Amino acid sequence: NFGIAREARLFDQLVRSEASLALRHVFFAERELSKIPSFDTRPAGAAQPFDTAATRPAQDDTVAINKVGVVGAGTMGSGIAIAFAQAGIPVIVVDNNDEAVDKARQTVMGMFMYQVQKGRLTQEEAWKRGQSIRFTDDWNELADADLIVEAVFENLDVKREVFRKLDAIAKPQAILASNTSTLDIDALARETKRPGQVLGLHFFVPANIMPLLEIVRGRETSPGTIAAAFKLAKTLRKKGVLSGNAFGFIGNRMIFDYVSEANALAEEGVTPERIDAVMKRFGFPMGPFAMSDLSGLDVGLAVQKAAGEQAKGRTNVLERLVEMKRLGQKTMAGYFKYDKAVGKGREPIRDPAVEEIFAEEARKAGIAPHEYSDEEIRDRLLGALVARGEKLLEEGVALRPGDIDIVYVYGYGFPPHHGGPMWYASHERMLTYA
């Protein structure tokens, strides 16, 4: 009858739509993640390419991860500990800072009690999970852990010292992992006598909620260690994506270019408010400037300095804002200003003072203002992501375009109905822009 025929036509339209194609791409890209080719053992650069004609690494030598240690009781360390506890894996958290430990304990129990209030856990389950996380200042208690995750301050020298200490304490078969978001895994592996058992496990904030885990392979990381990491990702119910060892890995290396392009547009006279609005309309939960404010401009500046020429901007806007103690949401002022009465202090509010700083710095650098359409703004920003993504594929840092898409959909809020940056670029002509 007419109703059934109309329903069939509408269903056919939906199946053929760009959103349907994109979502199916995401679905199948997820299922490709753990299909890892064996590694090319020839000497190579930081990324060390893959032999894509070979098979995935054997898992018969995979270390069973039944007990985990976490070094650092800060925001990341607490979140990582909760993630393991939620998966039923006992955790020992080591930190010498009593204040950090007290705060972490409150965070852990607060999270589990919140889940009780929401009906996701019973009181007994919450208590058991809380008891599975133990805090201590005694590093020797890590001696029987199968995996130890370092989650200290993002400073290479500090992390090197931690890895030297862990190598001396951990049992011979233990895996040592760093939660670094940018730093050199090989530099940490060199501090140990077990480089084959060292890798990066980059959790995303909050670690107990975000479904992405970047698994970073160092030059000497063994196939068995990588296989154990993928098995762990599955246990934690996270999407494990393999990355080569390059500054910022996949996600952050691309986001540097995205944020840099946003700053370039602001230098050319486009307001941060408009730039963020364009990307929110595209489907991101927030724009590049609000995201930077949330992360902390001091953190962004530190990463920019660590990257050196790789992330150097054209002007000194970021340095000026940090000097002014405009560090983002945490100081109620960054690229935007914030008011506790507006969205609990999380809602970005346009600040003409920042727009004037961009204009001043642009004049100093000889950058002329320019008019852009919303589509041009969107394409400049997405183009920056895609260009870097293509470079990462060429360098062997990322294995497949679909892996990059999964990183961005699950780690950075790229709208899944657009398939991820690499899928979007390859299907651009098929898409109908809103």
Catalogue the active-site residues.
202
Q: Is the peptide bond before 421 cis (omega within 30 degrees of 0)?
A: no
Distance between CA atoms of 368 and 360, rounded to whole angstroms? 11
DSSP string, 303-368: HHHHHGGGG--SSSHHHHHHHTT--BGGGTBSSSB--TTSGGGTS-B--HHHHHHHHHHHHHHTPP
Distance between CA atoms of 44 and 246, rounded to whole angstroms? 12
Contact by Cβ (8 Å): 170, 143:
yes
Supply φ then ψ for residue 164, to 5 degrees. -60, -45
Distance between CA atoms of 47 and 218, rounded to whole angstroms? 8
**Nearest residue to 427 (alpha-carbon basis) of 12, 22, 20:** 22
Contact by Cβ (8 Å): 292, 300:
yes
